Structure 1
Amino acid sequence: MAPDSNPVPSPLPISCITGRYLLFDIAVISHVRRTHNICGVLIGTIPNLSQQNVFLGIPLELTSEEARVLVERGHAYIVNDVKQHREGLMEMKRADRLEWMKELDRQGMEMSREALLKAEERSEKALRGKGLVGKGHGDTESVNSKAEGDAESLIDDAAKAPVAGVAPEKKLEPTFITPTTSHPPLPLAPISSALPLPAVPKSYPLFRYLHSRGYFFMPGLRFGCNYSVYPGDPLRFHSHFLATGVDWDEEFDLLDIIGGGRLGTGVKKAYLLGGEDSDAQAEVEENGLEVKPVRALSIEWAGL
C-alpha cells in the first residue's frame, strides 16, 4: 500500500483501555516503529486458537514509557477508547451505519473474487504442469471415431466451463471483514479530550534519555532488567545493553551489579545502570520540555 493512501494522523491517538495503551491501525504501528523507534508488543490472537502465543498480531500494546515519550514529544495523545466509541456510536446516523456496512460488503466481495481468481490460476497452472492443458490432438487422420467423439465431448465441456479469470458473480459470497479500526466511520477523538500523561516507573528518565539518542527498546524481563536496548530496529540488530533505571540516591546491592554484569557479558551485551541527576540543572529539549540530565554507566565482566 502506498504511504499516502492511508495517511497517519499527527498527532496520533493512542487508545487507553483498562489502563493499557494500544494501537490498532497497521499504518500507525508501522509509522511509530519506523519514525519514532517505538516497537511495543503485539498481543492479538486468533479467537479459535486463543492458546497460541507464537504468531501474534494487532493490537500493539505500548508500555507506559513508550506512550508517555510519544505524548511528551508531541507525536501522540491518549484517548479514553471506550468513552469515544460509546459517544460516537450514539451520535452516528442510521444512514451512515448502513453505508459503512455496504462498503464492508463491497470489500468482502472483492476479496472473494480475488481469492477465486487465484484458485483458478493455481488449478490451471497445476494442470499445465501435468500436461493436461495445451496439448494438441495429434494427426486427425489417425484418430478413430471414438477418439473424435471424446475430443468433441471435451470441447463441449470446455465451452460450458467458465472462462479462467472471470469469476461468476452468482457463486461468490462476500468474505466477512472485521475492521481493525473504527476510523472510519467514527471520527478521530479530538485532542481536547486527551487523558493526562501516563504514570511511569522510576526507570523512565533512562528510557527517555536513550530514546532521544535513537535507541530501540524491547522488554528486558528475561534478562532481569528493565529494557533490552538496541542500536537499531530489533529485526536487524542484536541488543547492545541490558538497561536498569534507578533513582539518583537509591541504594542497591553490589551483588546486583555483579550479577547484571556477568549476565550481560555472558549474552554478549553490556549491563547499563542509569538515573536522573536530581541535583543538576534542568535542560530544555527541542520540544520545549524541561528535563534533568541522566547519567548512565555500562558494566562488563572481565577476567582478571
Structure 2
Amino acid sequence: MTGEDSRRIAISIYAKRTARGEEVIMSPLVFDIHDIQLLRKWGICGVLSGTLPTAAQQNVFLSVPLRLMLEDVLWLHLNNLADVKVIRKEGDDIMAGITPQRGAKLARLVEDRLSKSFEYQRKFKKDEHIAKLKKIGKINDNTSTEELQRLDKSNNNDQLIESSLFIDVADISMILKDVNIDLNGPSYDDIRNLLFKQYRRTEKMQTYLLYKALRDQGYVLSPGGRFGGKFIAYPGDPLRFHSHLTIQDAIDYCNEPIDLISMISGARLGTTVKKLWVIGGVEEETKDTHFFSVEWAGFG
C-alpha cells in the first residue's frame, strides 16, 4: 500500500480490572473520522455507536466513535496497520489531569473555531442570496451596497441567516488527542499478548482463524448477532452489497458433534433472511480452515 493507505491508524482500547484483579479490555474504539474512512477501504466497517443520552438515534444516524470487533483489532495489529493504545485510566482521572490553563486554552480554541465557522456560514449564505437575486433580475453587477442592505433589511435576510447558523461539531476530541495517556505504553508484543489473552478468555482462537480466512477471501465481516451467528459476511462494502453468509463460532468438526436442532433452526433462519448458514473449523494437524454451508430446502 502507498500514500494514505500505508499509514497506521490509532485505536483506543479501554482496559478495566475486575474484582479478581484480571485485566479485561472493553470495546475497541476509533474516534478519528479519517481513520474510519481508511478502515472502510481495508474492508473493516465496524459499528458507529456515538449518540447523546437525551437524543437517542436509530443506527443509521449514530456517529463516532466506531466500535470494532476484537477480531478486527487482532487482524489490524498482526498486519501492522494500527497503533493500538491501551487506556487504563478512568475517565475521571483523565479529565482531572487537565490543568485549568489547558482547559482555558481549549475553551478559547473552541470559541475561535466556532466564530470562524459562523463567519464562513454568513458569507456563504449572503453570496448564495446575492446569486439568487441576480438570477431573478432583482439586482445586477452595478447594484450599490446601500441598495443590497436595503433589500436585506426589507426581507429580514440577516435575521433569517442568523437563525439558520449551525454549530459544527468536531470529529475528533481535542482533549483525548492532546492528553498523554501513557508515556511508557506497551510494546507491539505486549499489545499482541494482551489481545490474544483477552480473546482466548472469551472466544476460541479457531474463530479468529475463520475470520482471517474469510478476510483473505475478500469478505467484509460484521457482528452477526441479529442473524443468529458470530459474523455476517458481505462480498464487498455493505453499502453496495447485502450480506451472503451467517458464520457460526468455530467447531472441532472432526470430533465435536453438531447439534441437529441448531443446524435446522439456523438453516431455516438463514433461508428466511436469504443467507447461507455456515459452520467451520480448523484442522489441528494441517491448520487448514474448512467451511460448510447449510441451506433449508423445505419439504412437500
In the superposition, the TM-score normalised over structure 2's length comes to 0.70
Query: 2:215 matched to which residue of 1?
Result: 211
Deviation for aligned residue 1:216: 0.7
Query: Separation in 2 of the partners of 1:8 and 1:94?
Result: 38
Query: 1:246 matched to which residue of 2?
Result: 250
Query: 2:293 matched to which residue of 1?
Result: 298
Query: Separation in 2 of the partners of 1:47 and 1:128?
Result: 46
Within the alignment, does 1:55 sit opposite 2:79 as a pair? no
In the TM superposition, 1:146-295 aligns within 5 A as: 156-158=146-148, 177=169, 180-181=172-173, 182=175, 184-187=177-180, 189=182, 191-192=185-186, 196-197=194-195, 198-199=198-199, 200-202=202-204, 203-248=207-252, 249-277=255-283, 279-281=284-286, 292-295=287-290
**Structure 1 residues 220-250: Cα deviation after superposition (integer angstroms, max 9, x where no partner):** 2222111110111111122221111232043
Query: Separation in 2 of the partners of 1:11 and 1:156?
Result: 53
SS, match of residue 296 in structure 1: strand
Query: 1:13 matched to which residue of 2?
Result: 11
Letter in 1 for 2:295: E
Deviation for aligned residue 1:155: 7.5
Query: Separation in 2 of the partners of 1:38 and 1:48?
Result: 29
Query: 1:112 matched to which residue of 2?
Result: 118
**Structure 1 residues 155-184: Cα deviation after superposition (integer angstroms, max 9, x where no partner):** 85547889xxxx9xxx9x995755633464
Deviation for aligned residue 1:100: 4.6
Query: Separation in 1 of the partners of 2:91 and 2:216?
Result: 32
Deviation for aligned residue 1:204: 3.0
Deviation for aligned residue 1:8: 8.5
In the TM superposition, 1:37-56 aligns within 5 A as: 37-46=43-52, 48-50=54-56, 52-56=58-62
SS, match of residue 248 in structure 2: strand
Query: Separation in 2 of the partners of 1:25 and 1:156?
Result: 46
Query: Separation in 2 of the partners of 1:24 and 1:51?
Result: 18
SS, match of residue 30 in structure 1: helix
Query: Separation in 2 of the partners of 1:30 and 1:156?
Result: 47
Change (3 A) 1:219 1:276: same
Letter in 1 for 2:172: T
Deviation for aligned residue 1:115: 1.1
Query: Separation in 2 of the partners of 1:233 and 1:113?
Result: 38
Deviation for aligned residue 1:34: 1.0
What residue ranges of structure 2 are gaps of 5+ in the alignment?
Answer: 17-25, 153-157
In the TM superposition, 1:82-121 aligns within 5 A as: 82=89, 86=93, 90=97, 99-121=105-127
1:105–1:174 Cα contact (<8 Å) kept: no
1:216–1:233 Cα contact (<8 Å) kept: yes
Letter in 1 for 2:40: R
Letter in 1 for 2:296: W
Two-structure CA RMSD over aligned residues (Å):
3.9
1:226–1:243 Cα contact (<8 Å) kept: yes
In the superposition, the TM-score normalised over structure 1's length comes to 0.69
Query: 1:150 matched to which residue of 2?
Result: none
Of all paired residues, the percent bearing the same amino acid is: 28
1:271–1:300 Cα contact (<8 Å) kept: yes
What residue ranges of structure 1 are gaps of 5+ in the alignment?
Answer: 138-153, 282-291
Query: Separation in 1 of the partners of 2:9 and 2:141?
Result: 61
Deviation for aligned residue 1:187: 4.7
**Relative contact order, higher structure (CA 8 A, sep 6+):** 1
Larger Rg: 1
Query: Separation in 2 of the partners of 1:16 and 1:191?
Result: 13
Deviation for aligned residue 1:24: 0.8
SS, match of residue 126 in structure 2: helix
Change (3 A) 1:280 1:16: same
Change (3 A) 1:227 1:159: closer
Query: Separation in 2 of the partners of 1:156 and 1:84?
Result: 55
Query: Separation in 2 of the partners of 1:177 and 1:51?
Result: 17
Letter in 1 for 2:33: I
Query: 1:127 matched to which residue of 2?
Result: 133
